[in-house]
Chain A
Amino acid sequence: MDVSQYLEIFIDETSEHIQSLSDNIMALESDPENKDVVNEIFRAAHSLKGMAGTMGFKRMQHMTHDMENVFQEVRNDTIKVDSNMIDLLFQCLDAIEGYLAIIKETSDEGTNDNEAIIRQLNGFLQSAESASASNSAASAPASAAPAEEASEEEEKKFLTLELDAKDKKKLQDEFLTGKPIYGMTVYICNDCLLKAARAFLVFKAVEEFAEILVYEPSSQDIEDEKFENDFSIFFTTDEALDKVVAAAKAVSEIRDVTAEVITEKFLDESGAEASPVEEKSVQEAPAVPAETTPVKPAASAASNAAVPKKQAGKPVTSRTVRVDIEKLDALMNQVSELIIAKNSLVSLSSNSGAGAQNQSFQEQIEYLERITTGLHESVMKVRMVPIESVVNKFPRMIRDLSRNLNKKMELIMSGEETELDRTVVDQIGDPLQHLLRNSADHGLESAALRKERGKPETGTITLKAFQEGNNVIIEVGDDGNGIDTEAVKQKAIDRGIITAEQAENLSQKEIIDFLFMPSFSMAKKITDISGRGVGLDVVKSNIEALGGDVEVKSVYGEGSIFTVRLPLTLAIIQALMVIIGDEKYAIALGSIVSIEDIPITDIKYVEAKEVINMRGTVIPIIRLNQLLDIAPPEEEQESLTIVIISKGEKQVGLVVDDLMGQQEIVIKSLGSFIDNSTKIISGATILGDGEVALILDVNTLM
């Protein structure tokens, strides 16, 4: 059976189930008695098992199967959830994720059996079973009775089969060779749709270990699905029976498998009563009567699994389509091309004189503009995904960190639904993880110190995401130690980056910026004065590569907040085109507050820097011609055109020579050849007339 075509769906869905398991196990840890959560976990494990089985990933299936069994017992109240179990469950999750990672790369699950984990899982099971056997000896048989009755006739069906003479002869011959012959009956779930396929998989699984001698019904009947929900196999093997049964059971949608050694007596009087020599099953439990065990858990598991599926109040049918990101990229590129073409039409129409005959042409151009803008917005929305997919792994990470570091901490997240371009979301995970680790490891103080400072013992780490204009802000904060700026300053002096005198004049921000210097953070790591600064340079460069930036606010003793600012989209923005000298530049509209005409006499000086007073706010101004090495206008004007831009609470005025107007621009990279280490230019765009204009990154100007 070729399942490779389902591999992508399998990977997607498995990831979703793993996430759901992770969330629910976290929930279970805080509320071990919550039956809904237990059911949810059971369901997720069961689905995983089914999917892994269908895809033929036996190891993964084995593990999820055992997880499912453990939860079965939790549901039955025979096992209590404790922290050991939670730890183990997380180990299972990691192992499953490990399988998935290998599957993603090689389409195969690899060879790691994770035996230790499985042994531990079974340890839980055994303790549960012995417990249930001893303390509910009376109730167990009672509850098991109906199942037993129903299954009585089903069980060991192979013993009552009427074999034809030829098959019987074959078995007898084989028996004479002295090899043990086993009989096996396989029961398929009642709601199974592909019985023949399942049967085929069982045969394949059994054949791996054993030589199949006789089976019932005939292969033709099995192929045509001309059988009820069971079929029987007679085989011989050198392997342990357990192994064969397990292999058969590993096929999904198999309700149960019974098997035992065939005696001579059976062969002599096939169809008559036969006494089993030995009964085995995967889920055997010595303390419980042998006959009931194989059927009970599996059968009830199957029925329980079927019922919640229908009841689960999860999304009914989500009306979505999974689309390859590459197709979206192609679509986005085409929209970009269209917008460039539209822009050149616009510039043609405005250059060719506004005659009366141009009236309808102008109207059509405007219509076209509306359409392309709408198209662009739609494509952008399609590409947007909530950051949830990235941040939802963090609670688990913080939990693990809490254990490893032996500090109590909790993570409070908000704004997980905030959306960002898919490409940004894919790459924001690592930097955020780094910041959170930083907060947990270095930000939060030890319990003793927290007590001394009068803080609650449990440290709080926050992750807050929200949209602000054309940007998405993600804040990672903690109520920990904060940055010891004095220590950082001292470090900078020690390392010869600044002199002691220079250090005196540094603002807090300038000092904190040292933490983002590559070599600086390394030194901090070794000496570990205040702890901050491990790998922050990497965080900064990663975020800047996405067109964003990162800032820190910190109060020593009270905590720190890292603010990550990311552009909403990478490809197309609305921009204000400005002229400086004879060059054209684009400024993202999202960061512009207003455009002012300021008489030259209104310019004041503060600390030898030009500022303007705008309705009570003092705003520093930057002469773009100086910044961009452009010759200033020859004659001094009487007033200046100033574009006020903002980043957070900060505002800066940019002096430009002239305004061209608003335009939708397609952002293109400058490539890797040109040195752009000052980062003043964030990219380039092609104007309607084919000319290239550069895009100013105003964030770097603040």
Chain B
Amino acid sequence: MAAYIEANSNDVAEEKKQFIAVKLTSEVYGIDIGYVDTIVRMQKITRVPKAQSYFKGVINLRGEIVPVMSIRLKMGFADDVFTNASRIIILKIEDQGKLGVIVDEVKEVVNLGEGEIDKPSHDTKENKHSFINGIGKNGEDLISLFDINALTEEN
């Protein structure tokens, strides 16, 4: 118990960053919690004609119109399959307002310290790597951390 508390206080001293771990295809990704406004269940998305292909449309978030983007399509994966576990994570981007992104499943909130985050390897030139700005080590699991700015920017 004492050891646990000590570890915990170390966490604070080390200023761990919190991430929301989400599942997309078979991989786990992390979204910096600082960007997350709220998480909502899948709901009817109104398609916007002529929009970018990776935009699913807009939703009504408590009276506010929020655009919803498919991370899968943006990263070049197969299209989303909506299930009961599907969620829309509403991100708050400075100066640009809110943006929803679709994930297959929200798993948990993880705390990662500086030492637990590695720089991503840039040896592959695959498109999806440009959306990742770190690899987090959550115990045995590896979490790819999204570069939110890269994710929300136009290609």
Contacts and interface: CB of A to CB of B under 8 A. Distances in A.
A673 B152 contact: yes
Interface string A678-701: 101100101000111110000000
B51 A676 contact: yes
10 contacts: A340-B63, A670-B65, A671-B97, A671-B98, A672-B96, A673-B99, A674-B51, A674-B52, A676-B48, A692-B44
Contacts of A668: 64-65
B69 interface: yes
Interface in A637-676: 668-676
A690 B45 CA distance: 11
B125 to A, nearest CB: 26
Interface string B112-127: 0000000000000000
Given A583-B46, A674-B58, A694-B46, A686 B51 contact: no
A629 interface: yes
B66 interface: yes
A628 interface: yes
A337 interface: yes
A669 B96 contact: no
Nearest to B49: A628
Given A674-B48, A676-B50, A337 B63 contact: yes
A692 B50 contact: no
A684 B46 contact: yes
Given A673-B69, A684-B65, A690 B49 contact: no
Is chain B's binding surface mostly helix, strand, loop or mixed? strand
Given A671-B97, A674-B58, 13 more contacts: A583-B47, A630-B49, A670-B48, A670-B65, A670-B67, A671-B67, A672-B96, A674-B55, A680-B50, A684-B65, A686-B65, A692-B44, A692-B65
Contacts of B99: 671, 673
Given A583-B46, A691-B44, A670 B58 contact: yes
A623 to B, nearest CB: 13
Nearest to A667: B65
Can you list the 6 inter-chain pairs with the closest CB atoms, starting with the nearest? Answer: A692-B46, A628-B49, A668-B65, A678-B50, A684-B65, A673-B67
A692 B60 contact: yes
B93 to A, nearest CB: 8
B60 A686 contact: yes
B59 interface: yes
A673 B65 contact: no
Nearest to A690: B60
Nearest to A692: B46
Interface in A426-480: none
A10 to B, nearest CB: 33
B68 to A, nearest CB: 9
A337 B60 CA distance: 13
Nearest to A684: B65
Is chain A's binding surface mostly helix, strand, loop or mixed? loop
A674 B52 CA distance: 7
Interface string A556-590: 00000000000000000000000000010000000
Nearest to B98: A671
B60 A671 contact: no
B65 A671 contact: yes
Interface string A614-630: 00000000000001111
A693 B48 CA distance: 9
Contacts of A675: 50-52, 55, 154
Nearest to A584: B46
A680 B46 CA distance: 15
A700 to B, nearest CB: 11
Contacts of B152: 673
B58 A680 contact: no
B97 A672 contact: yes
A684 B63 contact: no
Contacts of B51: 674-676
Contacts of A686: 60, 63, 65
Nearest to A340: B63
Contacts of B66: 671
Contacts of B154: 675
A681 B55 CA distance: 15
Of A340, A668, A693, most B-chain CB atoms within 10 Å: A668
Contacts of A671: 65-67, 96-99
A629 B49 contact: yes
Contacts of B46: 583, 684, 691-694
Contacts of B50: 628-629, 675-678, 680-681
A668 B65 CA distance: 7
Contacts of A681: 48-50
A683 to B, nearest CB: 8
A671 B90 CA distance: 14
Nearest to A583: B47
A396 B133 CA distance: 56
Of A337, A340, A677, A694, most B-chain CB atoms within 10 Å: A694
Contacts of A674: 48, 51-52, 55, 58, 67
Of A674, A678, A691, A694, most B-chain CB atoms within 10 Å: A674
Contacts of B65: 668-671, 684, 686, 692
Contact of A684 (B49, B58, B69, B96): B58
Contact of B60 (A583, A673, A676, A691): A691
Of B49, B50, B52, B55, most A-chain CB atoms within 10 Å: B49
Contacts of A677: 50
Interface in B23-68: 44, 46-52, 55, 57-60, 63-67
Nearest to B52: A675
Contacts of A628: 49-50
A669 B152 CA distance: 18
Nearest to B57: A692
Nearest to A333: B63
Of A337, A583, A671, A677, most B-chain CB atoms within 10 Å: A671
A674 B154 CA distance: 10
Contacts of A627: 49
Interface string B9-28: 00000000000000000000
Given A671-B97, A673-B67, A673-B99, A680 B55 contact: no
Nearest to B48: A674
A628 B59 CA distance: 18
B133 to A, nearest CB: 20
A251 B15 CA distance: 60
Nearest to B97: A671
A670 B55 CA distance: 12
Nearest to A677: B50
A242 B70 CA distance: 76
A627 B49 CA distance: 9
Contacts of A693: 46
Of B47, B55, B154, most A-chain CB atoms within 10 Å: B47
B31 to A, nearest CB: 16
A672 B96 CA distance: 6
B66 to A, nearest CB: 7
A671 B48 CA distance: 12
Interface string A14-33: 00000000000000000000
Interface in B64-118: 64-67, 69, 96-99
Nearest to A673: B67
